[in-house]
Structure 1
Amino acid sequence: MIRFLLTIAFLTILQCQQVFAQDEQLSKKQMIYDIDCLVEKINYSHPNPYYYRNKEEWTHYLDSLKKELPENLSPFGFWRQIDKILVFMNDAHTRSYPTQFYKKYVKEGGLFFPFSIENKKGSYGVKKNYSDQTAIDSISRIVAVNGIPIEKVVQTLKLQSSKELDFLDEKYVTASFPYYLWRVYDWTAPYAIDFLDKNGKTDRMEVQGVLSTALAEKKSEAKEETCMFTILNDSTALLTIKDFDSEKRSYFKKFYKTSFKKIEKLKIKNIIIDVRNHDGGDARYGEDLGRYFADKPFRTSSKTLWKVTPEFKKNFSAMYIPKIMRWAKFTYGINKHTKAIWSTKDNELAVVEHKLIKPKKSSLKHKRNVFVLIDNYTFSAGSMFAAMVKDYQLGTLVGQPTANLSSFYADPMMWYALPYSKFTFQVSTSLDVRPSGIIDTESILPDIEIEDNEDALQKTMELIQQKR
């Protein structure tokens, strides 16, 4: 599934981004000042900005980038430099968005590259053709785009893909190739493609661009629910959960309760929980779900480290403490997070050790087979849910590695605007350590890994059939 429109749908929600006059040039002096402010705010708010890159690497990278800046640059051109800095940091939750530029480009009828690509055993071919240009289907291997070798194009795009691991950057860049080409290059249609055809003959063609609507997947007119429950057969139920964010916690709790009542009533033995394409959210919603199928105490993370600043306290209380209760300071000691945060000195790290959560008694009565479907787009709190299942052996993970490191910086609650460009960016304020307490450099790996052309649900149904 192409991630292009899903990415943009998320970006359009972020209305807080201030709009800069898009034709007004920024001077080199203004850009350097904004870059210095960006780094200052990250250092101020982030628990450990030098975790993925040490300070020397940061300094060298920033010095080189500043020297290479032209005397003047368009706002979008400068945003690309800001984006490269945040991607270099390698923290998927500290980021900025090109929302204003994308919306303007689409509104003016801007065209996008007409196909996505895929890596086929070290060479790149066409993944999906979004145009009516049938000649594109004759491409066997892409050699170059606009005279630049395809390998170099992909490497350049990956410099502005904000995933934490190289294979994830590769996945996102190739699947959303039209979006990333627009995001990184100032190219306009037609595009020159050097390629090998089905017979291995070298050739060149020009391809026209397509409107953003051509890249959109056809949606059902009915609104898709965040959570869906489906009976697949007399012994198997499917719970599909798209995120832990777009509804209130009470919505999720009600869904879990209703679903497991049906599971009990129908004596379902196999439970499949689908968190593919999961956009993340509040990890507590995953804990609420875990209580219904866990056969032992569990937790979604072993500990959380928060960077405490006065501004962070204000944002945290606004998000998690009811307004009517914020005057009562004694209530800040009830919750483990607020207790740790408000007892920590400003500009230091608050550490929250997470206790094990007990499963519901009903989950211990009947032994069930639990399968959790994951993929390269299972992000943030969705990835934490997968880690919980993995580390406590609460079920079998089927699919592909998740879209986060197993322990990662998260909770981007601090938003800042740069002085001259007015670009906004968000900074991670916490470190979530996976349930096992291990901090490694891998994402959550499935117990049963499938290929790109396989379907995790179908694979799981085959596994269930084999166990009968």
Structure 2
Amino acid sequence: MKLRLLYVAFLMLLTSCVSIKKHNEQISKLHSVKDLRKDIDELYSELKKYHPRLYQYRTKEVLDYKFDSLKKSQNKPLNSRDFYKKVVVVISQMGHGHTAISPPAKIRTKKERKLDLKMKNEFNELKFETLNSKLFISDGAESDSLLIGAKVLKINDEDISDIYVNYRKTFSSDGFNTTFYDKVIGKHFKELYLKNNGRQDSIQLILSLKDSLFNRTFKRVLRKKTNSNDKQKDSLKIKPNTKEKNKISWKEKRKYNKIHGYNYRDKTYNRNLEFIGKDSTIAYMKIRSFTKGNFKKFYEQSFAKIAKNKTQNLILDLRFNGGGKAKEIKNLYSYLTDKEFQFYTRSEVKTRMPLLKVIYSNSTSGFTKVIFGAVSPFIAMHRMFSVEKENGQLYFNYGTKKEKPNPLNFKGKIYVLINGYSYSAAALLATYLHGSKRAFFVGEETGGSYNGTVAGFMRQHRLSNTKVAVRYGVLHIATPYKENPDGYGVKPDVEIIPTIKNRLNKTDPELDWILNEIEK
């Protein structure tokens, strides 16, 4: 029996090694012109089949022409990454920010993954921000804090202006908005660089700061080991009462982190509430993301505090909030209104079973398909009753029921801070607050469209030959409020664009404007 189990384990290991080798060879080899053109046809057919608003910002004639031109331009063999660089330009011109493609990544062996755990890339410690199309180091320079505020001129001898132009072609906002681009390139510069250039063992930056020109090289280096001897040797001598206190404190901290959505990597919270101003009477709620954390508990506790303090002014900060859960923003809005409301309209779809089409895409693992296989008939039955057809168009009832305001709803003045990275769910919330005339907006136009976005259930399809993956939403999600022309975000009542001087002086001009306005 033992020999048989060892034999099976050996076969599984051998199969795994062979499949890894086969995958890595396939993505690095040159694909024939015929295969490249087949993948372009496959990509366009996939989008036409399930994307509910494919021709919202570009007409069918325009996209037909672009895909046909892309197909005809394939006149020599390419590897998967170079093919991706050609295709991504057309995808970004569609004008749907949630529709994106990615080059296939090399699958690393167990030995390589083990080595990766021991290494870190110094470049990944940096954080960037783009202001007026210029890239700056904004934070996270653990190895050299003096780099904060430095302008990046070149990276590995390539001008940052050329990189900016190229990266701007690799993604899109929703529609014709332009504020999204600066914010994405800054916030996701490291990811964009990896996506376009692959893993780098050494990255050199040419930087400018305070009229000085200099360079810095960032490498993959060994992580510092934590020395167990650094721990207190007399930890056993700690008094029992102290130990119990620490235990309670740890449990409270863990609970707090869970409610507020603690990000261990960035050491920040998704949700924060504090009281600011001269007399600490202004509620300032910063929401970085509508993702992890117990949002229901957070809003319940926060608005109870706001009510207890009899706060008259609430500042809701949605800057650099890229979105998240659709149900969270609906829950938050119930605390911001005293009227019954319907947050979403029916979602346009191209299939009666959108969730199953996401689960059973060709990029979903076999294990996941098996797990969902047992419950898929029940999902299908439930979803069939959630989809209705009207005038030839399928609609999915996605959070369309009437909602009542929360008893703790805030009745005072609401100010909302927005910028180009207020996107997806954050832009939908901004739209509802704007459309219902419930808030005053300061900052810059949101990156997400006023009239909704194609997102919700996200389907991923991997192209047969190059293994390039396309990921897109299968629901068009929108609030009842609309604006013309289509394709632009929520515009602020007062536009304020921060400068690098603000960042260096650690001042917040948008927030300062609101505080001054309240004090008048």
Residue in 2 aligned with 1:11? Answer: none
* Partner SS for 2:304: helix
- Structure 1 vs Structure 2 CA RMSD: 4.6
Equivalent position amino acid for 1:59 in 2: D
Post-superposition offset of 1:290:
1.3
1:360 counterpart residue number: 406
State the Cα distance separating 1:31 from its structure 2 match. 1.9
* 1:286 aligned onto 2:332: no
Shift in Å, 1:39: 0.9
Deviations 1:174-226 (A, max 9, x none): 55555545544689877797999959xxx9x8764555999xxxx87896443
Q: 1:211 to 1:85 in 2, by over 3 A?
A: farther
CA contact (8 A) 1:161 1:172 kept: no
CA shift in 2, pair 1:273/1:174, >3 Å = closer
Cα offset, 1:24, TM superposition: 2.9
**Aligned counterpart for 1:435 among listed residues 476, 480, 486:** 480
| Alignment match, 2:249 | none
Q: Which residue of 1 aligns with 2:241?
A: none
**CA 1:303–1:221 in 2, change beyond 3 Å: closer, same or farther?**
closer
2-structure distance, mates of 1:83, 1:459? 40
- Aligned to 1:425, what secondary structure does the other structure show? strand
Cα distance between partner residues in 2 of 1:162 and 1:291: 31
The 5-angstrom pairing of residues 268-279 of structure 1 reads 268-279=311-322
* 287, 291, 311: which one aligns with 1:245: 291
1:246-282 Cα distance to aligned partner (Å, 9 max, x none)? 24xxx32222222222222222222222222223223
Letter in 2 for 1:166: T
Look up the equivalent residue of 1:154 and give its one-letter code.
Y
| Partner residue, 2:181 | 169
* Structure with the greater alpha carbon radius of gyration: 2
The DSSP-based 3-state class of the residue aligned with 2:28 is coil
Correspondent of 1:154 among 150, 154, 164: 164
Alignment partner of 1:425 is 2:478: no
Tell me the TM-score normalized by structure 1.
0.72
SS at match of 1:426: strand
What corresponds to 1:381 in structure 2?
Answer: 425
8 Å Cα contact 1:236/1:269 also seen in 2:
yes
Deviation at residue 55 of structure 1 after TM alignment: 2.6
Given the alignment, which residue of 494, 498, 509 partners 1:448? 494
Q: CA deviation at 1:93?
A: 1.0
**SS in structure 1 of the partner of residue 42 of structure 2:** helix
Structure 2 partner of 1:61: 66
Determine the structure 2 residue equivalent to 1:370: 414
Check conservation: 1:413, 1:427, Cα contact below 8 A.
yes
Q: Deviations over 1:328-362 (max 9, x none)?
A: 98866xxxxx6441x349x9521659465432344
Q: Shift in Å at residue 241 of structure 1? A: 2.6
Call closer, same or farther: CA 1:398–1:99 in 2, change over 3 Å.
farther
Q: 1:190 and 1:225, CA in 2 relative to 1: closer, same or farther beyond 3 A?
A: closer
Cα drift, residue 383 of structure 1: 1.0
Contact 1:299 1:388 in 2 (8 A): no
Contact 2:155–2:203 (CA under 8 A) maintained in structure 1: no
Q: Give the drift of 1:412.
A: 4.4
Matched-pair contact (CA < 8 Å) for 2:51–2:472:
yes
SS at match of 2:395: strand
Please name the residue that 2:511 is paired with: 458
- Over 3 Å counting, the alpha-carbon distance change for 1:71 and 1:125 in structure 2 is closer
Q: Distance in 2 between matches of 1:102 and 1:177?
A: 23
For the residues of structure 2 that align with 1:163 and 1:137, how far apart are their CA atoms? 28
Partners of 1:141 and 1:197 within 8 A in 2 = no
Q: Percent identity?
A: 21
After TM superposition, give the deviation of residue 30 of structure 1 in Å: 1.9
Deviations 1:221-240 (A, max 9, x none): 89644333323354222333
2:454 paired residue among 398, 409, 414: 409
Is 1:79 the counterpart of 2:79 in the alignment?
A: no
**1:24 equivalent in alignment to 2:29:** yes
| Alpha carbons of structure 1 residues 227 and 29: separation in structure 2 relative to 1, 3 Å | same
In structure 1, the residue matched to 2:245 is none
> Within 1, Cα distance between the matches of 2:102 and 2:271?
27
Rounded to whole Å, the distance in 1 between the matches of 2:148 and 2:328 is 44
Counterparts of residues 121-140 of structure 1 (less than 5 Å): 124=134
Structure-2 separation of matches of 1:386 and 1:78:
37
Please give the per-residue CA displacement for 1:88-144, whole angstroms capped at 9, x wherever unaligned.
222111123357369999959889699968565x8x5756596989999999995x8
Instruction: Pick closer, same or farther for the CA change 1:325–1:294 going to 2, 3 Å.
Output: farther
Q: Report the CA distance between 1:449 and its aligned residue.
A: 2.5
Q: More displaced, 54-63 or 36-45? A: 54-63
1:415 and 1:181, CA in 2 relative to 1: closer, same or farther beyond 3 A?
closer
Determine the C-alpha separation between the residues in 2 that align with 1:222 and 1:141. Answer: 22
Instruction: State the Cα deviation string for residues 23-77 of structure 1 (Å, max 9, x = none).
Output: 3332222222112111111000011212222233223322333344363322222
Distance (whole Å) between structure 1 residues aligned to residue 58 and residue 516 of structure 2? 42
What is the aligned counterpart of 2:98 among 93, 97, 108? 93
Aligned partner (choices 259, 266, 269) of residue 309 of structure 2: 266
Q: Deviations over 1:156-188 (max 9, x none)?
A: 221113333333224433555555455446898
User: Secondary structure of 1:79's partner?
Assistant: helix
User: In structure 2, do the counterparts of structure 1 residues 259 and 111 end up closer, same or farther at CA, with 3 Å as the change threshold?
Assistant: closer
CA contact under 8 A between 2:285 and 2:316: conserved in structure 1? yes
Report what 1:236 is aligned to.
282
Q: 1:361 to 1:171 in 2, by over 3 A?
A: closer
Q: For residues 310 and 190 of structure 1, what CA distance do their matches in structure 2 show?
A: 46
| Alpha carbons of structure 1 residues 138 and 446: separation in structure 2 relative to 1, 3 Å | closer
Question: Cα offset for 1:386?
Answer: 0.9
Gap change, CA 1:447 and 1:298, over 3 Å in 2: farther
CA distance in 1, matches of 2:157, 2:330: 51
Q: Does 1:33 align with 2:38?
A: yes
Unaligned segments of structure 2, at least 5 residues: 1-18, 224-262, 361-367
Letter of the 2:97 counterpart: A
